[in-house]
Amino acid sequence: MKTHAFFTLLGVSMVSAPAQAALPVPPPKVAANTVLQPPARPDQVTFPDGVRQFPGVVYASRPGYRPLTLDLYLPPEGMKPPADGFPLVVYIHGGAWMVGMSQQMGAFVDFPGVLAGLSARGYVVASLNYRLSGEVKWPGQPEDVATAIRWLRGNAKAYHIDPARGVVWGVSAGGHLTGLAATAPDLTIGKTTHSDPYANISTVMQAAVSWYGVFDLSTISEQAKLTPGARPHDVEDAAEWKMLGCFDKQCPAGLVAQASPVTHVNASSPPMLLIAGTADRTVPYQQSVEMADALKKAGVEHALILMPNLDHGLIGKTQKETEIGSLEALSKTFDFIDQTMHAKK
């Protein structure tokens, strides 16, 4: 198995100091806590670095549901596309499958600016909105992710996308959907409830990044008990059970395993970067450790970064701790995307 330079140190990496060389100058602003609203912008934006943002692009219309949209970030017009197109980055927001939006993530004050900074490096970036658990139950969420990937590749020529180079990146609930997109790209085949004009296009991605994601619904309740003050998961109104539409062992046989990315890991799974805070009271960091163990057992290239004393969203006890952790995770993510996508060229 070939191993890229990024993976020379596999396993757990404890990060305590920033490494911002891969980030724009000045680096993105980070607040003291989670930012719930993105900055207001017009319908189309050109960022200072020339990246063009097209928010609210419709990728699917489900009968009985709102149109499903994504925000598209295209590299500067002066950047010549490679012969096969730019690599694709698909971002999936968090929010317990219940809330959240395509333009918000963690404590970043201007997350669209972060995605524009990534696009300026030579990527087409798509940030998805998907149906939430109050709108549709399982497997509606992974179905929407798969539909968006197919739509993007179906329009590859229009947006100069290389359909053979793609990475999916998600946080929290979006990290769960990222894990499924990476390890079970065919999960929703035969389960779709609508006509998809791009149904024959592959959803296989070449790399994946998950920040504090959910990977095993069968172990999350017990793992949460290991962290003082953690949110309980052995209750019916826990977010994952609302998403599935059933409670733990009362779920139909095989459903919990089907919805757990760790179940689907195999030797053909793509390289993965996993990042989590060791003081996470919402999603136990042991979920990321468990996923890393499964990847290691399957012989899949991966890296696990555990960030000491950071809570969910990489929130620290002070604004400075939050800033250091958030920028470090972002720098590692940009490095990983660069290295895996260039290796796949």
pLDDT tens-digit series, residues 258-299: 999 999 999 999 999 999 999 999 999 999 999 999 999 999
Backbone angles phi, psi at 306, to 5 degrees: -105, 125
CA distance 38 to 106: 11
Q: Count Cβ atoms below 10 Å from residue 200 Cβ, excluding itself.
A: 8
CA distance 121 to 66: 33
pLDDT of residue 35: 79
Position 190 scores a pLDDT of 64
| Orientation of helix 173-183 relative to helix 140-154, angle to 10° | 60
In degrees to the nearest 10, what's the CA dihedral of 139, 145, 146, 149? 180
- Dump the DSSP string for 286-335: HHHHHHHHHHHHHT--EEEEEETT--GGG--SSHHHHHHHHHHHHHHHHH
Give the per-residue pLDDT at 14.
56
Whether the per-residue pLDDT at 133 is higher than 70: the answer is yes
Q: Of 143, 307, 316, 291, which Cα lies nearest the Cα of 214?
A: 291
- Bond into 48 cis (ω within 30): no
Percent of the chain with pLDDT over 90: 80
Scored b (16 or more CB within 10 A) or e, 53-91 reads: bebebebbebeeeeebbbbbbbbeeebeeeeebbbbbbb
d(Cα 112, Cα 118) in Å, to the nearest integer? 10
64-68, 128-132, 203-207: the lowest-pLDDT one: 64-68
Model-level pTM? 0.88
Question: CA angle at residue 328 from 324 to 333, to 5 degrees?
Answer: 155
8-22, 48-62, 197-211, 242-256: which has the minimum mean pLDDT? 8-22
- The mean-pLDDT minimum among 13-27, 56-70, 153-167 falls in 13-27
| Tens of pLDDT, residues 313-323 | 999 999 999 99
Cα 134 to Cα 156: distance, rounded to the nearest angstrom: 32
Distance CA 103, CA 299 (A): 35
